[in-house]
Amino acid sequence: MRTKVLVAGFATRHVVQSAYGAGCEVYAVDHFCDQDLSFYARESMRFDELGELFPAVGEMCALHAPDIVVATSGAELLPYRDFCGTPPEKVQRFLDKLMTHRFFEELGMPAPLLLPSDTFPAMLKPRTGSGGWRNRVIASAADREAWIEQFGDIPAIAEEVVSGIPCSVCCVADGTRAVAVASNRQILRGAGDASFGFCGSVTPFRDRRHDQMIRSAEQIAAASGCLGTLGIDFMAGDELYAIEVNPRFQATLDTIEIATGINLFSAHLAACRGNLPCRRPSCRQVAARKILFADRDMTVDANLSRLSPLVSDIPWPGTAFEEGQAIISVYGWGATGQEATDLLHKHIRTVRQYMGGRLYG
């Protein structure tokens, strides 16, 4: 009998697809419920506000009695008995960027320095939240006030601004041990108000600090107490800085699976049961993913599902988007980084032709 899995969170398609590939019977609670979620989930339930997520999970559990429940972003604190992943009491500290800083300090892991509120320039971040879209480099008190006006007077931290390449390492952990699965270069939007927002990845990422980054990630993951898959974000420049711990499935899942050929959901379940890989997986090719955004308020009329598997997170025909909203993910792959990037750009051009050119990314 197949394992019945409920995947819950703000965006679940990548985890649902991996669970389906692992042979599971999959259900989802998701904010978007994109067209391709229906390719892999037997049934899904959409929610609008995060406050609706937990009640929706309860309803789906009552309807389908899943064997296990798995969280993506926004659902990390699910209190369910059959939860498969890092327990809420371990997750809590890594959902708070200030507490994560303290964790790095305890490990002696280099991280950007925390700055007083009147020190500039600084990287200003909300203490909670994912995706990086509210992160902002501020140069003055006026910039800080503008950030507060835009996002509200919410708890935030200010860090020193460090240069380098944003990257991450995906690990699997059993609570005391960890093995690195893959390194990734993170693609950020790079312009506009959400210039530090995540918009894609390239797997693997290799530079002169690769080996140090892998060792550091495994040390962090092992000390975190996390179970299953988790991601460690870094900034790789003249120094290697630890940035965040993501105690859940990461948005890099797709490029990791394409590059390595492994099924990350299976690795997650095995790690939660105390079974780690005997060695780090190797990459058989390079994989790239890019998220495309609406360049104006628009409605997607085309049925982009015909472009699968070149694309994912596919909107239903007739879906309306505001300017700047994410519309679709596009992929490229190849024996080298250049081949993967060239194919990615070719596929982006194809998508833009279907969309009449009204995308950026």
Question: For 260-279, what is each residue's pLDDT tens digit?
Answer: 999 999 999 999 999 999 99
Question: What is the CATH number for 192?
Answer: 3.30.470.20
Average pLDDT over residues 242-254: 97
Residues 13-31, mean pLDDT to the nearest whole number: 98
Task: Supply the pLDDT for residue 277.
Answer: 97
Contact 128, 96 (CB under 8 A): yes
Asked whether residue 278 is assigned to any structural domain, the reply reads no
Residue 297 lies in a domain: yes
Residue 361: the pLDDT is 60
As for how many domains the chain has, the answer is 4
Q: Is the pLDDT of residue 1 over 90?
A: no
State residue 360's pLDDT score: 59
DSSP code for 112:
P
Average pLDDT, whole number, for the chain? 95
Contact between 91 and 76 under an 8 Å Cβ cutoff? The reply is yes
Q: Are strands 4-9 and 25-30 parallel, antiparallel or unpaired?
A: parallel
Determine the pLDDT at residue 99: 98
pLDDT of residue 244: 97
In this prediction, residue 295 carries a pLDDT of 87
- What's the pLDDT band for 84 if we cut at 50, 70, 90? very high
Give the residue from 72, 93, 94, 89 showing the smallest Cα distance to 7: 72
- In percent, how much of the chain has pLDDT > 90? 91
In a domain, 281, yes or no: no
139 and 184 fall within a common domain: no
Dihedral over alpha carbons 123, 165, 242, 139 (to 10 degrees): -10
For 214-244, how does the pLDDT look when each residue is reduced to its tens digit (9 = 90+)?
A: 999 999 999 999 999 999 999 999 999 999 9
Residue 232 lies in a domain: yes
Is residue 118 scored above 60 in pLDDT? Answer: yes
Could you tell me if residue 295 is inside a domain? yes
pLDDT at residue 358, as a whole number = 56
Least reliable range by pLDDT among 77-86, 174-183, 291-300, 338-347:
77-86
Residue 147 contacts residue 136 (beta carbons within 8 Å): yes
- Residue 126 CB partners (closer than 8 Å, separation 6+): 97, 134, 151, 154, 155, 156
For residues 253-258, give the mean pLDDT: 98
Nearest-angstrom CA–CA distance, 66 and 278: 30
Convert the pLDDT of each residue in 123-170 to its tens digit.
999 999 989 999 999 999 999 999 999 999 999 999 999 999 999 999
- What residues form DSSP beta bridges with 69? 6, 83
Domain that holds residue 332: 286-360
Task: Establish if 226 belongs to a structural domain.
Answer: yes
For residue 289, the model assigns a pLDDT of 98
Is 64 found in the same domain as 150?
A: no
- Whether omega for the bond prior to residue 204 falls within 30 degrees of 0, making it cis, is yes
Q: Which residues are CB-contacts of 191 (< 8 A; sequence separation ≥ 6)?
A: none
